Amino acid sequence: MHEAITESNWSLHWRLTESAGLAIYLASYRGRRVIWEASLPYVTIEHQPPDTAVELASADDEEDPPRTHGTFWLPLGARTLSADVRHTRFRNGFEIAADFAAGPYAYTQLWRFHADGRVGAWLKIHRGGLHDAHTYHPHWRLVLDVETSGGDVFETKNEEGWERARREGWYPVGSSGALAFRQMAQDSGRAVLLEPHRLDDADVYALRYREGDAPPLTPHGGVGEEPFPASYPGQEPIEGDDLALWYVAHIHYRSSFPYTAGPLLRAEGY
């Protein structure tokens, strides 16, 4: 299932994947490329006691060991689609949306494109399957294409201004971390700004993009003990190279549901 759309200053393609939700690819704004590919590869669910403490077994617990908790995952895609993909228009923009039912969990994924260059990459988490010990971790993978021939740089914004990143890294969001991010073309000054949702507890991972690169089929398909992409940032230089950005939100059971998570992208200088 796929479609091409041209309206509201945007030209793009979308497709329904097997396990990464609704994917957007070859998206251009005012005739210039913004997104090479963007998708939602994983929504993982972490189960912990309400006080978020980890239950540890002891030698005295052999007959009645504590319950173990971990992270589990159900793919969003063609097999979990619960209604037709919707393409709807609103004033000065349009939206592509899909509802998914994955086990007891219910989600609505949305891509909202505005004529002024904004893109909302959102996931609405409904109350179905909600548990007061759950934390939801939706993972967006964003391969931007600000400068087609390369030469992009990645910068983070804090209270003192913009700072350029030279190597791959993990960047927490919020009061103790970055306030915004941008991938910018060095020559033209065009940029795509990534603004975290104001209520999200989130992390951004900036990874060097490799030809033919694709996320593992499951969040545990990476290397090391941490799930993907937490195990991946290394020391590869990223200045002047193509990037794969990951935005990972953490929606805790204390949040009001339904909850809409995800970043806002903004094309600047186009």
Residue 183's domain comprises: 2-52+68-268
Mean pLDDT, residues 39-44 taken together? 92
Q: What is the dihedral of CA 85, 89, 94, 97, to 10 degrees?
A: -20
In this predicted structure, what is the pLDDT of residue 255?
65
In this predicted structure, what is the pLDDT of residue 131?
65
Q: Could you give the 3-state DSSP secondary structure of residue 60?
A: helix
Buried b (16+ CB within 10 A) or exposed e, 2-23: eeebeebbbbbebbbbebbbbb
Report the distance separating Cα 25 and Cα 14, nearest Å.
6
In this predicted structure, what is the pLDDT of residue 53?
45
- Tell me what percent of the residues of the chain surpass a pLDDT of 70: 78
Q: For residue 61, what is the DSSP state?
A: G
Bridge partners of residue 204, in order along the sequence = 171, 247
Please enumerate in sequence order all residues whose Cβ is within 8 A of that of 104, keeping only pairs 6 or more positions apart, or say none: 128, 129
Report the distance separating Cα 3 and Cα 12, nearest Å.
9
Report the distance separating Cα 245 and Cα 223, nearest Å.
18
In a domain, 59, yes or no: no
Query: How many structural domains are present in the chain?
Result: 1
Indicate the range of 139-143, 199-203, 264-268 predicted with least confidence: 199-203
Report the distance separating Cα 10 and Cα 20, nearest Å.
22
Given a contact cutoff of 8 angstroms between Cβ atoms, the answer to whether 143 and 209 are in contact is: yes
In a domain, 90, yes or no: yes
Q: Token pair for residue 116? A: 């002024």
In a domain, 63, yes or no: no
In this predicted structure, what is the pLDDT of residue 110?
98
The owner of tokens 């934390």 is 135
In a domain, 60, yes or no: no
Indicate the range of 13-17, 30-34, 102-106 predicted with least confidence: 102-106
Q: For residue 227, what is the DSSP state?
A: P
In this predicted structure, what is the pLDDT of residue 239?
86
> What does the angle CA 245 – CA 246 – CA 251 come to, to the nearest 5 degrees?
150
Going by C-alpha positions, the residue among 199, 200, 206, 201 that lies closest to residue 181 is: 206
Please enumerate in sequence order all residues whose Cβ is within 8 A of that of 108, keeping only pairs 6 or more positions apart, or say none: 97, 98, 99, 100, 123, 124, 126
Please enumerate in sequence order all residues whose Cβ is within 8 A of that of 188, keeping only pairs 6 or more positions apart, or say none: 147, 269
In a domain, 154, yes or no: yes
Is residue 232 scored above 50 in pLDDT? yes
Q: What are phi and psi of 98, to 5 degrees?
A: -145, 140
Indicate the range of 150-159, 177-186, 207-216, 258-267 predicted with least confidence: 207-216
Tell me the pTM: 0.86
Given a contact cutoff of 8 angstroms between Cβ atoms, the answer to whether 27 and 111 are in contact is: no
In a domain, 118, yes or no: yes
Q: Token pair for residue 62? A: 């052999």
Q: What is the dihedral of CA 170, 29, 97, 112, to 10 degrees?
A: 70
Q: What are phi and psi of 61, to 5 degrees?
A: -105, 20
In a domain, 61, yes or no: no
List the CATH number of the domain containing 161: 2.70.98.20
The per-residue pLDDT of the chain, averaged, comes to: 83
Report the distance separating Cα 212 and Cα 37, nearest Å.
12
In a domain, 160, yes or no: yes
